[in-house]
Structure 1
């Protein structure tokens, strides 16, 4: 039997009203978590909201078979009872298995995943042959300090006559050893600006390379580089906005 659109609307709002009339509290979530834990129903929302259809099954398998923990994905929206359930369950699970249990599951699952035919046939060849990744698990970084690259550019950029204010978007490849190659400009800048940006990039110290499934890989990095005057102007604008909101 097929439901008409009007029936579906009535069904939706009836269900919504029912759910709203039976609101659960934070205390309800805590009680349920304690009861589930007592029964041996251990739950962690380790998988977040990003689905990795290749690796997640290995995480789920290791967690269930070795620790009897059920892994699930995080909800986009959580009601108070759900937040309290997760907080209580996390505390109990971490107390039982250790605060590093999620990292342990991931490490153990990664060992099994790398032994799989899927990994050996589709992922390992890309890593071994120098494939340039655009999506990775750990992005390449100029430094552990988030502001270090900006300070490096601001300190080392040279002024260009008749080109005081400019900003250019570029990309380059961060190699496995952290060196940079293949500088690409998304627009065609003035030749003197192009030369200065190329000089600045070539002078950069080695980056911290990207990681994919724990392996060091080549990675396409996108950044923007501005003139010193442009950066100083933007700093002043940000400072004024911050001052006006305080």
Structure 2
């Protein structure tokens, strides 16, 4: 990365489960957001994507995002702009390359940038709070509602349940937690904790009974009322 970006590199920051305490080497990916002083050329962006794809990473690969300093310090809401998004996976090193310059932004970056600012660990560069601008609480809540809607339609039930717990946790404490931490917190407060406890067991890879759709949706409905 430094070979391509060179002196234009402001910093690179570890975020996500690796800094929130929920990293699982069997299933987690490595989340990094980097910041450059200004936009890179087409050639440099392609070179960076290729180099990142050729790297070797632990766990489930790399999720990398590059922003300019302006995009990081003044994030556009509700869909922050970015320069490059690169993911890899153990089974496919060419998993995904997205040129952010051709898009209107990515709403998924709302949570990423919130966590990067509050919890990001500098691999290189100044402290994260000196680089990333504030993300409004209302934007985080909106992003969590969107993630919950997506998970209801597409994700495994344990992911849905723990995503609901994380949204509830943030609403109560104004802090983003790992899914495991949020699940443990919510299990002590929800009237039907069995569904959360089952999701926690499944999240750690241990055997557990299937989670009934009705029970997971009941929790989602409860959390949606809390967030409203």
TM-score range, shorter chain: under 0.3
TM-score of the aligned structures, taking structure 2 as reference length: 0.23
TM-score of the aligned structures, taking structure 1 as reference length: 0.22
